Chains A and B, each alone.
Chain A
Amino acid sequence: DARVTQTPRHKVTEMGQEVTMRCQPILGHNTVFWYRQTMMQGLELLAYFRNRAPLDDSGMPKDRFSAEMPDATLATLKIQPSEPRDSAVYFCASAPPSGGTYNEQFFGPGTRLTVL
């Protein structure tokens, strides 16, 4: 049963610390998305990659957030320095290549981040 995996599942850190979240997309999927969910803003897209190249990171605060795909099996989202307002659940999703006009996104279980 292929799934998107995310680590860590929970992270508590202090303001100013660096946070790294990792995502392993489903094998063979070539598009990876990062979302953030808070009670106030709901689900927001931060960035997404296709074939490891960034396509859109307009939803991501550029000064402290960075997203990369070092290889096809790993996507990372870093926050440096972290702030209390970054507290949220961060979801990674992946999607397969599509020969048509549709691709379903498969979401991971999320990383719950708390910044004190």
Chain B
Amino acid sequence: DAKTTQPTSMDCAEGRAANLPCNHSTISGNEYVYWYRQIHSQGPQYIIHGLKNNETNEMASLIITEDRKSSTLILPHATLRDTAVYYCIVRKGYGNKLVFGAGTILRVKS
């Protein structure tokens, strides 16, 4: 599975959009981009995933560049409860294990 690079930490004001970048320049054609987050003292939680097209669900939007070498997770209106570590993971499809990196610590501040 391709490796990912994320900033160590980011701050965001409550109510503003949080944009979390991820580089995955070695991604191959059949690999998906997944985002999970881990709120303090809890297990990781799935957020969203995508292959080529931009995706949106009730939690977030995922923007993948045309060359697929990078992506951005967008939390449209961050709240204090969105403070967490966000993991960008590149993985082939069904059944394969998730390899977690260090992730990005997002701090949402009032």
Contact = CB atoms under 8 A, between A and B. Distances in A.
Contact of A33 (B42, B97, B102): B97
B21 interface: no
Interface string B94-110: 11011111100000000
A9 to B, nearest CB: 11
Chain A CB count within 10 A is highest, among B43, B95, B97, for B43
Interface of B: 32, 38, 42-46, 49, 87, 93-95, 97-102
A24 interface: no
A104 B101 CA distance: 18
Contacts of B98: 33, 45, 105
A44 B101 CA distance: 9
Contacts of B87: 43
A42 B94 contact: no
Contacts of B100: 35, 42-44
B43 A110 contact: yes
Given A42-B101, A45-B99, A107 B43 contact: yes
Contacts, number: 51
B93 A109 contact: no
Interface in A42-65: 42-45, 48, 50, 56
Interface of A: 4, 31, 33, 35, 42-45, 48, 50, 56, 91, 93, 98, 100-110
Nearest to B48: A104
